[in-house]
Structure 1
Amino acid sequence: MSAPLLSDRSAVVYGGGGAIGGAVARVFAREGARVFIAGRTQAKLDVVARDIAEAGGTVETAQVDVLDQRAVEKHADAVAAQAGGIDIALNAVSVMHDQGTPLADLSVDEFMRPVDGFLRTLFITSKAVARHMGHGRPGVVLTLSEPGSKLAVGGILGHSVSAAGKEAFTRVLAAELAPAGVRVIGIRPHAVVDAPAAGSYTGDLFKPLAAAAGQSVQEMLDGGGMAQGTLLKRLPTLSEIAETAAFLASDRAGAMTGAIVNLSAGALVD
């Protein structure tokens, strides 16, 4: 049996009670990391923590508003003091936003909601953890993006700009943190086929699009237009995202930084 990928690493997952954050936290713990999950809803964090503990992993929870910079910094300082530093961080925070509304009908608030929400949380969490990373020990910051960063389709202005911003943030932060030995890598999945069933906000996000096509959200994800628009004619799973995140956070991906890993099942070909 091969050694766990993340033995003796400390990992912070923001949005750790969500569908993607929870899936990644479970795999991080399985691979030997000491996991700290943070988010707004304690009940959701407790579900993930229970799963990890029952599987023999090490986990701690914290109810933290990731839009509160002081609260995030206080939490990161506490984690670093307890664990001797922070080795891995993932921002899996979700921000409800509009998809499907054209410019003529889109308000400035609707446009800015994902731009400000996603990028603000990414800035706050990255700044909080970066000062506790590197300088002789591994350091990895993982970000999440979407195919909207590159798609040229109507009705996703705010979503597309926020996704492109997250990828630009990832590249530039990689350059800034490289001298300290910290890697920064983005993961770009498409809509995740089993995320709504796991409680993801995308269940509500995609309802209008699915209704317009005369489908349920799950029908749209299982074999509808989103899947048919990929090369593999399917969408990624939570397990695939989580397993990829664990690999990227490990020494096996030690030469990779400043990259965006395409898990869109071929919705985009980089």
Structure 2
Amino acid sequence: MDTTPNNSISTSSSLGLLAGKVAFITGAGRGIGAAAARLFAKEGARVLLAARTESQLKTVAEDIRAAGGVAEYAVCDLADAASVRAAVDRTVELYGQLDIAFNNGATLASPGPMDQVEEADFDHVYAVNLRGTWLAMVAEVAAIRATSITGAIVNNSSVGSLMGNAELAPYGAMKRAVNSLTESAAVTYGPEGIRVNAIAPGTTLTEMMYEWDDASPGMIERLAAQAPMRRAAHPDEVAQAAAWLLSDRSSYVTGTVLRVDGGLRA
């Protein structure tokens, strides 16, 4: 089966990295997801933003429209299977297709040793970070198959999936499982032209990271000091990596977990 992309690099370069594509983004109300939504729209994609908080989604969508982009949103709880499927279906209803998806939404348990994590908190991290990502991927593959035939998916993992973490054991465990899902999906759907990759951000200045820093004062500074670049990433820097992996410029890249960590794991 010949699944060579129809859009040439020169065409996408002149029109925008994601020109002509429809993108679905979870966790799009803030942080990396919001940065990705703005970037993808700027690069020519029509975007559907999904997250739990409508006020945040509305703000990001309005920002995108004000800048000349195309954006709609759907309130979505990644822990609710019906909600996830409905959000993906809404993308197709509004735009007639789905080409690319960025599964970014995630949650944290309270930082601390794993024996102090409440069972309900562990279950919630599982439901959102792993089960929610799986649910989204299944719905996205079905939508891509039914409309655009070929496409690309990027899952937001974490550099924490690549090493032990004394404070975020459930988070790291679920993200490591996301890496496995990513690789399995790449092997499964690659023959039909659907690429699946992940990014593994390091310390990034998001609301979630600030919440961790509040619980463990000085955490951002300590983590940033460990990276060779001696700083934390801005959300847009991480979004740029996701955009490239979703674009036709990465047409022969699938099954990879791309570190965006300032060299932390070098």
TM interval, short-chain normalised: 0.7 to 0.9
1:89–1:129 CA contact under 8 A, matched in 2: yes
- Alignment partner, residue 14 of structure 1: 26
- Alignment partner, residue 215 of structure 2: 208
CA distance in 1, matches of 2:82, 2:120: 25
CA distance in 1, matches of 2:164, 2:27: 29
CA distance in 2, matches of 1:156, 1:34: 35
**Aligned partner (choices 240, 248, 251) of residue 248 of structure 2:** 251
- The number of residue pairs the alignment matches comes to 253
2:61–2:71 CA contact under 8 A, matched in 1: yes
Paired letter, 1:207 = D
CA distance in 1, matches of 2:35, 2:89: 24
CA distance in 2, matches of 1:228, 1:59: 37
CA distance in 1, matches of 2:86, 2:114: 40
How far 1:115 moved relative to its partner?
2.9
CA distance in 1, matches of 2:125, 2:197: 20
1:46-80 CA-partner distances (Å, limit 9, x unpaired): 11011101110001111122222123223322322
Pair 1:71–1:208, CA change in 2 (3 A): closer
Unmatched 5+ stretches in structure 1: none
Match of 2:200, SS state, is strand
For the pair 1:128 / 2:139, whether they are aligned, the reply is yes
Task: Show the 5 A alignment for 1:1-270.
Answer: 2-103=14-115, 105-134=116-145, 137-193=149-205, 195=206, 200-210=207-217, 215=218, 220-221=219-220, 224-269=221-266
How far 1:108 moved relative to its partner?
3.6
**Aligned-pair identity (%):** 28
2:78–2:127 CA contact under 8 A, matched in 1: no
CA distance in 2, matches of 1:265, 1:149: 16
CA distance in 2, matches of 1:202, 1:16: 16
Paired letter, 1:89 = A
Match of 1:171, SS state, is helix
1:28–1:35 CA contact under 8 A, matched in 2: yes
1:98–1:159 CA contact under 8 A, matched in 2: no
CA distance in 1, matches of 2:122, 2:54: 29
Paired letter, 2:133 = L
How far 1:2 moved relative to its partner?
3.1
How far 1:174 moved relative to its partner?
1.1
Pair 1:154–1:66, CA change in 2 (3 A): closer
1:15–1:92 CA contact under 8 A, matched in 2: yes
CA distance in 2, matches of 1:78, 1:208: 37
Paired letter, 1:21 = G
Pair 1:94–1:181, CA change in 2 (3 A): same
2:78–2:128 CA contact under 8 A, matched in 1: no
Match of 2:72, SS state, is strand
How far 1:134 moved relative to its partner?
4.5
**TM-score for the superposition, normalised by structure 1:** 0.87
Unmatched 5+ stretches in structure 2: 1-12
How far 1:87 moved relative to its partner?
0.4
2:183–2:256 CA contact under 8 A, matched in 1: yes
| Structure 1 vs Structure 2 CA RMSD | 1.9
1:49–1:59 CA contact under 8 A, matched in 2: yes
1:146-194 CA-partner distances (Å, limit 9, x unpaired): 121122343332122112111111111111111221111101101213x
Q: Which contiguous aligned blocks of 4+ residues in structure 1 show a shift greater than 4 angstroms?
A: 134-137
